[in-house]
Structure 1
Amino acid sequence: MRKLIPITVHWRQQNRVIALDVPEGDYILQSFEQQGEPLPFSCRNGCCTTCAVRVIEGRIDQGESLGLSHELRARGYGLLCVARATEPLQVETQDEDEVYELQFGRFFGRGKVRPGLPIEEE
């Protein structure tokens, strides 16, 4: 039997707090859905920011996350659709536009957008 990890989601937009145990290794978003507590999502592939959260306490494994820069991940942001808890976890949902602005806002309206612009600047 796999270890259960307690996960608390502070869903800002709905003014709710949801606490569930998620089997170790399972995707957080999918496990919450299976337990009757669906959370915001869009692509389910770690490419958009609809399911973005900020980690309050704990750590997540999100190696499959393509939609967040390494910089934002280092600042504690994650995508629940491709996140797995590695220890007890508390997260807070974020507004998709807020995360998008943090990640890409510095490019738009400033003449820096060009085809092929990578998420990670070298």
Structure 2
Amino acid sequence: MIRSYTVRIHNSQTETYHTVQVPEDCYILQTAEEQGVQLPFSCRNGACTACAVRVLSGEIHQPEAMGLSPKLKDSGYALLCVSYPRSDLEVETQNEDEVYELQFGRYFGKGRVRAGLPLDED
């Protein structure tokens, strides 16, 4: 028998709260959308940070979350597009740029990329 869990989502961008029922074998983002909840997303395959959340309570399973390092996962970050609930959950959406910086910032020695500069300019 497939279990279903209650997932409470705080969308910090819109300051809204949503509660959805998600079967343990379904992605949280897709199931929330099917229940009328609009959340941030982009790639839908676990490679970016647009749907990143911070897990406030509960257990989540995200074996396909390539866009998060093991360190970020261990720190409580998850990607809703490729996450399955393993208990009742409470999560909060995150700023995509902040999560991206945590994930990849160390690789950009000169800091953040600035828009509008020619490619050959340092």
- Report the TM-score range of the alignment, normalised by the length of the smaller protein: 0.7 to 0.9
Q: What residue in structure 1 maps to residue 20 of structure 2?
A: 20
Paired-residue identity, %:
55
Superposition TM-score, scaled by structure 2 size = 0.86
Deviations 1:65-89 (A, max 9, x none): 1100011000000000000000000
Which amino acid in structure 2 is aligned with residue 83 of structure 1? S
Describe the SS at the equivalent of 1:42: coil
Q: Which has the larger radius of gyration?
A: 2
Q: Which amino acid aligns with 2:5?
A: I
Residues in 2 aligned to 1:102 and 1:74: alpha-carbon distance in whole angstroms: 13
Q: Distance in 2 between matches of 1:86 and 1:25?
A: 9
Alignment of 1:72 with 2:72, yes or no, is yes
Cα RMSD (Å) of the superposition?
Answer: 1.3
Once the 2 structures are TM-superposed, how far is the Cα of residue 2 of structure 1 from its aligned partner?
A: 2.9
Cα deviation, residue 103, structure 1: 1.1
- 1:8 CA displacement: 0.5
Q: Which residue of 2 aligns with 1:118?
A: none
Deviation at 1:55, TM superposition (A): 0.4
Equivalent residue runs for 1:7-86 within 5 Å: 7-86=7-86
Aligned-partner residue type, residue 6 of structure 2:
P
Query: What secondary structure does 1:91 align onto?
Result: strand
20-29 or 49-58, larger mean C-alpha shift: 20-29
For structure 1, the residue ranges without an aligned partner over 5 or more in a row are: 112-122
Write the distance in 2 (CA, Å) between the matches of 1:36 and 1:2.
Answer: 22
Task: Please state whether the residue corresponding to 1:106 is helix, strand or coil.
Answer: helix
Aligned to 1:92: 92
TM-score (norm 1): 0.86
Taking the aligned partners of 1:15 and 1:95, their CA distance within structure 2 comes to 13
Match in the other structure for 1:101: 101
Distance in 2, Cα, partners of 1:55 & 1:102 = 16
CA distance in 2, matches of 1:84, 1:2: 12
More displaced stretch, 61-70 vs 99-108: 99-108
Amino acid at match of 2:12: R
